[in-house]
């Protein structure tokens, strides 16, 4: 019996229990707060402290939970010598949809077809074809009111279950390990205070991908634009020729973003940009725009285009002012991973040894792994099994989580 079969048979219920326990904690991150405070929300601390206590209960005592919410566990190898490798997952969930009071639904022996959720929302093979793969298996969905949190609590549950395997199978040989749980991955700010000097791993694996078997060999370059619009408030009764409305300025800017370069209009290797958040009033408005590309030239072109839009809005609103700050979030990991071909080979073999063919993809997103790679620790992203991330239709199949756990253990050997 292979490792995957053993995990599926003997550890599926532990995997499920862990995932449901973690998913129940509201760890929604807050983009605005994360500019000043990491973690940006108290719920993230609740999960980090729970993980710390569970690691201690397993007997892993070399732990460091710092003031910025980075939990690092160091686990001696068996034998003690050898190259140290790391595994990373994030505790926060997306703020794009509600993440409070998550109530996962467990569908044992899924029979196929549509699953009716709250508020008229339906999950079905029509809008999520991968469901067909898991007929007769256990799948977990949200109840339709919130996201599920498989991004990335499935990854956390899988890493923790792999450590549980190590603790119960004391003669099982594995490398020295480091496990890292991070805050605020979804805001892009969680790694800004990461204590790189405390990490000894030669390389890491981020358990933060999607479909079963997926390995992410490339990601976007990601940038963020923070755009401020300063208006000139005047009573609307006497505003002719004088009033400058910052809300109208922000609206014009958003409307000028190319629709053919939006996330909903692009796929494959086409980059995009989109308005992510807008706040404010007549006097002042703040707009956040995210933009992505697989190549640095695409980022440079979009950066210049955003600057041009800012000047166009100023020209259209005499007396108004637009300021724009552009900031890099993460880089395409291919920049660094090209120098470490053995890392890709190692992950490919770990997936193959779990019993399936790897699916190698250029992912239209990124993770803390990209940021860690930029810090000098090459990090590949591997699957956690979740589907429809950042959505009320998010779901994960329990066999995919078992497979991910097997892959983690293969990498640890």
**DSSP one-letter string for 92-141:** -B-SSS--SS---EEETT--SS-EE-GGG-EE-TTT-GGGGGGTTS-EEE
pLDDT digits (tens, 9 = 90+) for 1-49: 789 999 999 999 999 999 999 999 999 999 888 878 999 999 999 999 9
pLDDT digits (tens, 9 = 90+) for 341-358: 888 899 999 999 999 999
- The one-character DSSP state at 75 is E
pTM of the model: 0.86
Of the candidates 383, 408, 341, which has an alpha carbon nearest to the alpha carbon of residue 130?
A: 383
Active site residues: 92, 185
Domains located in the chain, CATH noted: 3-219+332-412 (3.40.630.10), 221-329 (3.30.70.360)
What is d(CA 186, CA 368) in angstroms, rounded to the nearest whole number?
A: 9
List, for the chain, all residue ranges whose pLDDT scores fall below the cut of 50.
none
11 CB neighbour count, 10 Å cutoff: 21
Beta strands in 281-366 (DSSP E): 284-293, 321-330, 359-363
Confidence (pLDDT) at 174: 95
Q: What DSSP line would sit under 25-52, residue for residue? A: S--B--TTGGGT-SSSSHHHHHHHHHHH
Confidence (pLDDT) at 286: 97
């Amino acid at each position: 019996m292979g490792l995957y079969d053993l995990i599926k048979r003997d550890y599926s219920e532990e995997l499920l229990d862990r995932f449901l326990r973690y998913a129940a904690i509201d760890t929604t991150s807050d983009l605005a707060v994360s500019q000043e405070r990491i973690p940006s929300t108290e719920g993230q601390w609740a999960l980090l402290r729970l993980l710390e206590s569970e690691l201690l209960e397993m007997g892993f005592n070399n732990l460091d939970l710092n003031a910025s919410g980075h939990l690092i566990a160091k686990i001696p190898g068996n034998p003690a010598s050898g190259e140290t490798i790391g595994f990373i997952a994030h505790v926060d969930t997306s703020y794009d949809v509600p993440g409070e009071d998550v109530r996962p639904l467990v569908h044992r022996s899924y029979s196929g077809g549509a699953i009716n959720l709250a508020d008229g929302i339906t999950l079905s093979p029509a809008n999520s074809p991968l469901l067909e793969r898991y007929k007769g298996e256990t799948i977990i969905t949200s109840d339709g009111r919130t996201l599920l949190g498989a991004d990335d609590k499935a990854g956390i549950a899988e890493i923790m279950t792999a450590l549980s395997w190590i603790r119960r199978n004391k003669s099982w040989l594995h490398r020295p390990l480091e496990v890292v749980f991070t805050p605020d991955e979804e805001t892009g700010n969680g790694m800004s205070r990461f204590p790189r000097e405390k990490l000894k791993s030669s390389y890491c694996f981020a358990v933060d991908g999607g479909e079963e078997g997926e390995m992410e060999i490339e990601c976007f370059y990601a940038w963020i634009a923070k755009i401020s619009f300063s208006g000139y408030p005047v009573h609307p009764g006497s505003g002719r020729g004088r009033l400058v409305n910052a809300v109208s300025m922000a609206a014009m800017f958003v409307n000028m973003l190319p629709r053919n370069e939006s996330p909903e209009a692009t796929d494959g290797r086409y980059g995009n940009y989109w308005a992510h958040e807008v706040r404010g009033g007549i006097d002042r408005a703040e707009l956040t725009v995210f933009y992505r590309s697989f190549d640095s030239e695409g980022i440079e072109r979009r950066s210049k285009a955003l600057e041009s839009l800012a000047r166009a809005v100023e020209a259209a609103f005499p007396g108004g002012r637009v300021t724009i700050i552009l900031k890099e979030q993460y880089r395409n990991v291919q920049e660094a991973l090209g120098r470490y071909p053995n890392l890709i080979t190692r992950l490919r073999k770990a997936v193959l040894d779990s019993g399936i063919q790897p699916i190698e993809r250029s992912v239209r997103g990124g993770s803390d792994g990209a940021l860690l790679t930029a810090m000098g620790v090459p990090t590949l992203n591997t699957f956690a099994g979740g589907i429809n991330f950042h959505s009320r239709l998010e779901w994960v199949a329990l066999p995919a989580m078992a497979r991910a756990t097997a892959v983690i253990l293969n990498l640890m050997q």
